[in-house]
Amino acid sequence: MRQALVLAVALAAVVAVPWIAPIYHVLLMLPFMAYGVVLLGLNLLFGYTGLVSFGHALFIGLGAYTAAFLTGLFKVRALEVILLTAAVVAAVVAMPVAAFCVRYVKIYFGMLTLAFGMVFYTFLLKFYRLTGGDEGMPVARPFLLGRDLGDMPKIEYLAGPYYYYSLVVLIVAIAVMWRIVHSPFGLCLKTIRDNPAKAETLGISVPHYRWTAFVISAVYAGVGGALLATPTGNVDPTLAYWTHSGNLVFMTLLGGFASFFGPLVGAFVFIYLQDFVMSVVPYWRLVFGAILAALVIFAPGGLLGLFPRRRVIEAA
Amino acid sequence: MGTSRRTFLRGATAASAIAGFPRVARAQAKTPVKVGVVAIRAGIAAPVGTAGLRGTEWWAERVNKAGGILGRPVQLVVEEESNPKDTVERYRKLILQEKVEVVLGGISTGVTLALAPVAEDLGTPWLSWDGTTQKGVEETMPKTKWSFRSVDNEVEAIAGGLLTAKYFKGVRTIAGINNDYSYGHDCWQSYQAVLKKLGMDVRPVVELFPKLGVTDFTSHIATIQQAKPDLLMTSFWSGDATILMKQAAGVGLFKSMKGVFTTAGGVHDSLKKEFTPEGLLLGYNTMYFDDPKGSALLKQFVREYKTKYNEYPPYECDHAYFCAESWKTAVEKAAKGGQWPGKADVVKALEGLEVESLSGKRSWREDHVMMCNFYQGITTHKNSYDFVTIDPIEVISTKQAMKPAGTKLLEWIAGWKM
């Protein structure tokens, strides 16, 4: 009951942001919602399956470049089509990548995902004529629910229709992921995470379940990447760089990978903390490094792990 | 409900968008004017960003000592330039949250390609230090209202080509080593196009594109040695220029070939005499710190920079100084009856404006592109420093070495009348 109340208040606050918050903070919520979608997927691997990916920026990059290609080269402006295509592209790429990666666990899995991510980053950088190389590609303003909205000032577009569109996508992503992790499939993933040998003896095909979780998480990252591209208006290879993957893991750790909503809290805190620290300290990366170290040492359960267990919605 | 949200949004953005209304200077006599700055502070380009920031800070100190702009002191609000996504967010923060009157800065073209459309949306002048809106060597935004762009990326390679024809006439084979990103590729392409147009019968024998940030060039140098070119051209602009020079000196590379370093003047005081030979062509981009014909302003700046930072200033200081000084001049020019002008009036005043900058006169072309001089010359040890300088000093104007508005680079070069 208390959990539902907290969620309702949080949702009401997010809905009210465009009315009550300064415009810049409204815009900061856009990457939060995009990363929220990405992290829900990442945590299916991390928190529920026990596999830490250091290469998920690959799928963000795929989603973002899908938006650039569709709106630019193919003149497809409907965001619904863009998101769907981003999901399909991410899934198609994830299938073979996952087939390689899920044969390994722990650091080997992490390194392999990192390697695939960097292969894609290099592809984006080197194939200049196709991808724009280091200069990237522009992303035209997408239509929302068939409406052009091209006459609207971009800030108003982002802080109004695009904001609520992103919020709906996030809510749908949450609902679907909630259903997934509370399904028999999600239960199997948790079993695999806790004891893969026992899962095998129970008849669970561990590689197959890991593969499926990987592909689902990639789809989430692809959709999140497509959402992330529009506010910037440009995509570039740094979206697929390994440090971006590292930020995703940081956000998940910050909020708490053991909780369903932990990664969302992590994304929110990360974005606002970065915004604040970047403005006041030139060496903000040092500050973030110190925070990460303190987090791992003193609060391995992340911010939501600081609360008594009954108050949070547990992953396990 | 919809109406109130729209009203709110309009109200929130109106202060920073679309022209703005003239405000009474009397009411703002003591109110600082906020000037936004985006500067690279980390990574391989941090020295360049730092130089730009120092140039801007020096300008702000001078302006404030002289009583500010229309009586208002300048307050710099600095944000970091990093990747396009984060920099776009910092840029929006400067305008929407900090309510700055202008944004200065931007070095990486990868970033400024993303910034320019945002600047156009937000309706606040943006004067880029070193970033363009070029895709490769071609302009992507020929008409901007609020964005003022730096010189085209490939100008120093074109200037280097012009001077190669003058100083290294007998060259028949050339090699290129440039960074593997758009700037490196564009410079190498432009340099060759100029040599070809100037009738130099040269043949490229090797072209290498190491990743930006590489610190070991021994294998590259071995490849160059094996190809035995008459001349090596590079557009390295950061610490890699110094490293290449050191490692090349180790094997006496420039005893057997000429060298053209179009952009290494950005790290000029690290090019020590002990490993940098005389006789190379070295480019300082748009400001040469040791110009004997330099203005009193340049000499004062170099002196104070050396005293404060124990370094000699590179060109980025002047890009930054010019952006700030031209904006100040435009504000004063656009002001009527002591009133602080609207942003659109300032933009109009900037178009075609020429001001005295550190390196001499600089101006904004009508299409919002920076016009200035490039300094290149032949390296010499005959100076009082422990690093090389240039003598003679060649000054090449952007009127000569930068494609005019609305033209395509290679077509423009091909159309030169010889």
- What is the rounded CA–CA span in Å between residue B376 and residue B10? 50
Sign of the Cα pseudo-torsion (A88, A91, A95, A100, in order): positive
Residue A314 has pLDDT above 60, yes or no: no
In sequence order, the 6+-apart residues with CB closer than 8 A to the CB of B288 are B265, B294, B359, B375, B377, B390, B393
Q: Scan for tokens 């000429």, then name that residue.
A: B258
Q: What per-residue confidence (pLDDT) applies to A309? A: 59
Higher-pLDDT residue of A203, B220: B220
Using CA coordinates, name the residue in chain B closest to A28.
Answer: B89
* Chain A residues within 8 A of B122 when measuring between CB atoms: 155
The answer to whether residue A233 neighbours chain B at the CB level (below 8 Å) is yes
Q: What per-residue confidence (pLDDT) applies to A258? A: 86
Among B113, B182, B185, B189, most A C-beta atoms within 10 A, so best to mutate, is B113
Do you find a cis peptide bond into B32, omega within 30 degrees of 0?
no
CA distance B263 to chain A (A): 20
Nearest to B9 among A125, A126, A160 (CB): A160
CB contacts < 8 A (A, B): 103
pLDDT confidence tier of residue A105, bands split at 50, 70 and 90: confident
What angle is formed at CA A235 by the lines to CA A230 and CA A236, rounded to 5 degrees?
160
CA distance B171 to chain A (A): 31
Q: Scan for tokens 């009203």, then name that residue.
A: B7
Assign B138 to helix, strand or coil.
strand
Domains and CATH numbers, chain B: 2-151+296-371 (3.40.50.2300), 155-285+373-414 (3.40.50.2300)
Neighbours of A103 (CB within 10 A): 13
CA distance A30 to chain B (A): 11
Q: What per-residue confidence (pLDDT) applies to A310? A: 53
Q: Scan for tokens 């998940």, then name that residue.
A: A252
Higher-pLDDT residue of B147, A296: B147
Q: What per-residue confidence (pLDDT) applies to A307? A: 77
| Regions of chain B short of the pLDDT cut 70 | 1-29
* Chain A residues within 8 A of B118 when measuring between CB atoms: 154, 233
- What is the rounded CA–CA span in Å between residue B249 and residue B246? 5
Q: pLDDT per residue over A158-193, tens digit each?
A: 999 999 999 999 999 999 999 999 999 999 999 999
B33-40, strands of its sheet edge to edge: B74-81, B33-40, B102-105, B126-127, B147-148
Among A35, A126, A234, most B C-beta atoms within 10 A, so best to mutate, is A234
Rounded to the nearest integer, the mean pLDDT of chain A is 91
Q: What per-residue confidence (pLDDT) applies to A304? A: 85
